[in-house]
Amino acid sequence: METINFVDLKKQYSVIESDVNESLAAILKSGQFILGPVVEKAEDALSQYTNANHAITVSSGTDALFVSLLALGIGPGSKVFIPAFTYTATAEVIALLGAEPAFVDVDEDTYNISCDSLTEKINHYQRSELSNSAIIAVDLFGLPADYNTIYDIAVNFGLHLISDAAQSFGGSIENQKVGKLSPVTTTSFYPTKPLSCYGDGGAVFTDDDELAMKIKSIRSHGITDNPYENIRIGTNARFDAMQAAVILSKLKIFDEELGKRENTAQIYNQELKGVVKTPTITNQVKSAWAHYTIRTRDRDELRKFLTENNIPTMIYYPKGMHEQTAYKKYHNGNPLIVSEKLCGEVLSLPLHPYMSEDQVYYVSEKVKEFIG
Ligand SMILES: Cc1ncc(COP(=O)(O)O)c(C=O)c1O
């Protein structure tokens, strides 16, 4: 059997090679590298794919969060409620803006933000302490969070809502695509993400015309049409034409790739149900399957056994954000029980569109062999 890779960008490249090479050569000849027509074309394609009125490309998923929070006016005094079980970028941008990340526990089954824990945490604050505050829900491992409920909570408490969809581009709820599920959605095109480029990249999606205009201005140093007129404080978070060309090439095969991810996940589900805790998918919710993450108390021993059998795995994430040295000061020290338990039990198995079914069955067999 061929080597099992955790993700396989080389195989993917062999599928899009001529298309992407041609586009990149055209950009090299054009001399237009930052923003410009190819970036605009990618933004149109992304807006069309998600059905969001605006898709604004930026330099990374982290910057997508940063420019969104800045455009919403989040800063000193703002609280931003986020799940503790997430990647560091979700928390970091809040702290960088001088706002306060407020860590919330996650749901035992979906691993996304727990609506009960969220309401409880918000209720710790007086209304007057929550002016210009926000919730960032994260679609962990590709599974969209429970936006119907989270949106109601946000409206009820007068909070902005951002979806950190770095891992879930391509997912959906009741046929509404990620990008359209929250007033503001951010994603990442980091090479290992479901839709990725060959470097850093990201995008913000919204239907709000004024917010979109602000975000476009902020990603280019706070300018409008005149490049030497700075009407607000911004940053450099621009996307570049070469990465936009890669996104356009990969969008052509994206739905097919999502189908292959789904197929792999279904085989894992069928083979591993009852052996380890398999991912929970709620009705009408489609995951983009960025990762297939199982849970077992014997995680570390299982990981060692799989490594010995040439099966690569990853631990997303070994530590909750509320326990990280840099962020402890924002937390009251109360345990976030589910997040802490997950950190000791989760293990992500290889999943990418170019895995053969034989490989998926082999990984499943090895997991079963270890669990016994
Ligand atoms: C949940 C989440 N948010 C944000 C990011 C940041 O994206 P980027 O690496 O493109 O800055 C990531 C990337 O791994 C992520 O997983």
Tens-digit pLDDT profile for residues 195-238: 999 999 999 999 999 999 999 999 999 998 888 888 999 999 99
Distance separating alpha carbons of residues 280 and 332, to the nearest angstrom: 30
300-311: average pLDDT: 98
Query: Is residue 267 located within the same domain as residue 244?
Result: no
Answer whether residue 232 is part of any domain: yes
Answer whether residue 19 is part of any domain: yes
The set of residues, in sequence order, having a beta carbon less than 8 Å from that of 303 and lying 6+ positions away, is: 313, 315, 347
Residue for token pair 């306060």: 100
CATH of residue 234: 3.40.640.10
CA of 371 to the centre of ligand 1 (A): 32
Query: Is residue 184 located within the same domain as residue 142?
Result: yes
Query: Is residue 213 located within the same domain as residue 84?
Result: yes
Answer whether residue 284 is part of any domain: yes
Number of structural domains, the chain? 2
Q: What does DSSP assign to residue 370?
A: H
Q: Whose CA is nearest to atom 10 of ligand 1?
A: 61
Query: Is residue 243 located within the same domain as residue 262?
Result: no
CA of 62 to the centre of ligand 1 (A): 6
Query: Is residue 260 located within the same domain as residue 242?
Result: no
Query: Is residue 228 located within the same domain as residue 262?
Result: no
**Which of the listed residues 190, 239, 316 should we mutate to test ligand 1's pocket, taking the one with most ligand atoms within 8 A of CB?**
190
Amino acid at 146: D
**Does residue 167 line the site of ligand 1, with CB under 6 A?**
yes
Compute the half-sphere exposure of residue 307: CA atoms within 13 Å on the CB side of its CA: 10
Looking at every residue in the chain, the average pLDDT score rounds to: 97
Distance separating alpha carbons of residues 84 and 103, to the nearest angstrom: 5
Query: Is residue 244 located within the same domain as residue 277?
Result: no
Task: Specify whether the CB–CB gap between 311 and 319 falls below 8 A.
Answer: no
pLDDT (tens digit per residue) in 242-301: 999 999 999 999 999 999 999 999 999 999 999 999 999 888 999 999 999 999 999 999
Distance separating alpha carbons of residues 99 and 133, to the nearest angstrom: 9
**Does residue 138 line the site of ligand 1, with CB under 6 A?**
yes
Query: Is residue 132 located within the same domain as residue 24?
Result: yes
Closest ligand 1 atom, residue 188 Cα:
10
pLDDT at 213: 97
Distance separating alpha carbons of residues 274 and 263, to the nearest angstrom: 19
pLDDT (tens digit per residue) in 112-159: 999 999 999 999 999 999 999 999 999 999 999 999 999 999 999 999
**Does residue 139 line the site of ligand 1, with CB under 6 A?**
no
pLDDT at 260: 98
State which of 223, 248, 273 marks the end of a domain.
Answer: 248
Domain that holds residue 329: 255-371
Answer whether residue 60 is part of any domain: yes
Confidence class of residue 333 from pLDDT cuts 50, 70 and 90? confident
305-322: average pLDDT: 98
Answer whether residue 3 is part of any domain: no
Closest ligand 1 atom, residue 202 Cα:
10
pLDDT at 148: 96
Closest ligand 1 atom, residue 86 Cα:
1
Q: Considering all CA atoms of the chain, what is the largest pairwise distance in Å, rounded to the nearest integer?
A: 67
CA of 78 to the centre of ligand 1 (A): 22
CATH of residue 307: 3.90.1150.10
Answer whether residue 160 is part of any domain: yes
Answer whether residue 342 is part of any domain: yes
Answer whether residue 1 is part of any domain: no
Residue 9 has pLDDT above 90, yes or no: yes
Query: Is residue 238 located within the same domain as residue 269?
Result: no
CA of 308 to the centre of ligand 1 (A): 29
**Does residue 82 line the site of ligand 1, with CB under 6 A?**
no
Distance separating alpha carbons of residues 342 and 284, to the nearest angstrom: 25
pLDDT at 55: 98
Q: Whose CA is nearest to atom 12 of ligand 1?
A: 166
**Does residue 89 line the site of ligand 1, with CB under 6 A?**
yes
